[in-house]
Every structure is written in C-alpha cells, then in structure tokens.
C-alpha cells in the first residue's frame, strides 16, 4: 500500500512527522509533529508518533527516559508530598520541623546558673535538695519538705519552645514516689496548659520517657506538678524536655 502525505502526494513511510505552523502550512521536520501555538512566541508543541513530546512532557503524564533540564526555569504549583519519593515545594521545606532527641535543658549548677534558665520549686527539703539538682550532672536530687500534695518544680527557658517529649526520674532511693502528677506549660500570668496527665504512674529510680499525644505550642515555662506522693519527702532526680526545631 502506497503512503501519501497530507497533500495526496506519494511518499515513503518514515518515522518523520509534520510541523504545523500558525499560518497553517505543513512541513516535514525530523521525527516530530510540531504545532506553533502563537506566531509571536517561540512555543512549539512537538509530538512524536508514540504520543510523547519531543521537546517536553506529555500533559497527561508519562515516564522520563532521560534527564530533564529546566534551563533556568522553575517548576511551580507543586502539591504537598505524600510518598517518600515525591518532590517537595519551598513552603513544605520552610515549615518543616524536626524532633530533637537531645535534651533542651543544659546541665545546671544552681537555680540561676545558666543565663535564661531559672529553676523554682514550691518546696525544698534543704540546700542539699534544691530544684536545680534535677537538671545537674551530679548524683543529687530535689526533695520536698514533707510536701506530698500539690507541689511543683518549674523551669523558665531563655525563650519559648515547643516540645514533643519529656523524661522524668523519681528519687534515687526508689521510695517516696510521686504517683499522681502532671506536666504543664505556660507563657506567664499563672495560666497553665496541661500537657500530660499521669494517674497511678509511680516515678521510681528508673528514667521514664514520655511522648506527647500532640506537639505542644511554644511555651516559656514548663513544670512538673506533683498531685500526690508517698511519704515523706517525695521528689525527682531527673527531668528533661525535648524540643521541636526548625529544619535549617
């Protein structure tokens, strides 16, 4: 069977196609059918026999068989990623947060030993059992002075941070334990947000790690609030918080 071109002339079969210019003229050009959409701009839509663009990507999707060079241009209007191999947009990267597994509070040597970190407690047994011991690297602890209900240990940070987890350890003896307690946060004016409620959760001499159900907002103050404790001087030997940080 003899092949003909669009003008009815006999022609040989080839992999070549046609270029359709804005003035309606047709001409044979390599292996692609090219449609110039606007005579005033250089925007030629080139299609090959298999439906892929010779100089672009199929509008309904396709598989790249070689590298795609943007030539200094942008890929715009990307949706948020879902799968692990999806491309991400700038907004997604700018707002990305990471869970820091290093404790935010440094080692302290007094209630005011680091600029911006201030420790206060509603009750302290004596100078050897001050609140800052909970945040120190020494083998010391905080203990109340016979206070077993509604007692707190609080730390003020240099600036507000959001947290996703915290850690606690009771007294080194494993006795005089808190068993009903809260972890709370505040930005001042004695208004406290409860982040975690523990009922019947005894704090012994083994460090326990807790993950919040939802990431907290940014707060300047965090505190442990002992609701009920065993006799006679309940306390803590360790406390730490873990922050949510921007992805730099």
Which residue is it, tokens 């491309």? 87
What is the pLDDT, as a whole number, of residue 78? 79
What is the pLDDT, as a whole number, of residue 22? 44
Contact 32, 46 (CB under 8 A): yes
3-state secondary structure of 244: strand
Looking at the predicted structure, is the pLDDT value of residue 205 above 70? yes
| pTM of the predicted structure, to 2 decimals | 0.68
What is the pLDDT, as a whole number, of residue 95? 63
H helices, E strands: number in the chain: 1, 16
Looking at the predicted structure, is the pLDDT value of residue 34 above 70? no
The span from the CA of 177 to the CA of 201, in Å, is 9
CA atoms within 13 A on the CB side of 25: 5
The span from the CA of 9 to the CA of 11, in Å, is 6
* Identity of the highest mean pLDDT range in 21-30, 50-59, 78-87, 168-177: 168-177
Pairing verdict, β 238-246 and 97-99: antiparallel
What is the pLDDT, as a whole number, of residue 5? 53
Note the pLDDT tens digit of each residue in 35-84: 554 555 554 555 555 554 545 555 566 677 778 777 888 888 778 788 87
| Domains of the chain by start residue, with CATH | 11-64 (no CATH), 118-246 (2.60.120.260)
Q: What torsion, rounded to 10 degrees, do the Cα atoms 174, 180, 185, 191 define?
A: -140
Q: What is the number of other CB atoms lying within 10 angstroms of the CB of residue 30?
A: 13
The span from the CA of 242 to the CA of 97, in Å, is 13
């Amino acid at each position: 069977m003899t092949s003909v071109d669009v003008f009815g002339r006999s022609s040989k079969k080839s992999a070549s196609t046609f270029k359709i210019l804005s003035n309606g003229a047709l001409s044979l050009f390599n292996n692609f059918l090219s449609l110039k959409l606007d005579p005033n701009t250089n925007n030629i839509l080139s299609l090959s026999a298999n439906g892929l663009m010779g100089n672009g990507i199929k509008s309904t999707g396709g598989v790249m068989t070689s590298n795609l060079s943007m030539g200094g241009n942008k890929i715009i209007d990307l949706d948020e990623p879902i799968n692990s191999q999806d491309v991400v947009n700038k907004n997604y990267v700018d707002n990305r947060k990471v869970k820091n597994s290093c404790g935010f509070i440094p080692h302290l040597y007094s209630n005011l030993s680091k600029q911006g970190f201030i420790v206060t407690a509603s009750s302290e047994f004596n100078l050897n059992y001050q609140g800052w011991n909970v945040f120190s690297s020494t083998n010391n602890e905080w203990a109340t002075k016979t206070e077993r209900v509604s007692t707190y240990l609080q730390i003020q940070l240099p600036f507000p941070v959001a947290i996703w987890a915290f850690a606690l350890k009771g007294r080194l003896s494993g006795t005089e334990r808190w068993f009903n307690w809260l972890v709370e946060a505040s930005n001042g004016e004695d208004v406290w947000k409860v982040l975690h409620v523990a009922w019947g959760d005894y704090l012994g001499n083994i460090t326990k790690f807790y993950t919040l159900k939802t990431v907290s907002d940014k707060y300047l103050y965090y505190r442990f609030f002992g609701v009920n404790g065993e006799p006679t001087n309940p306390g803590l030997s360790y406390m730490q918080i873990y922050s949510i940080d921007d992805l730099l």
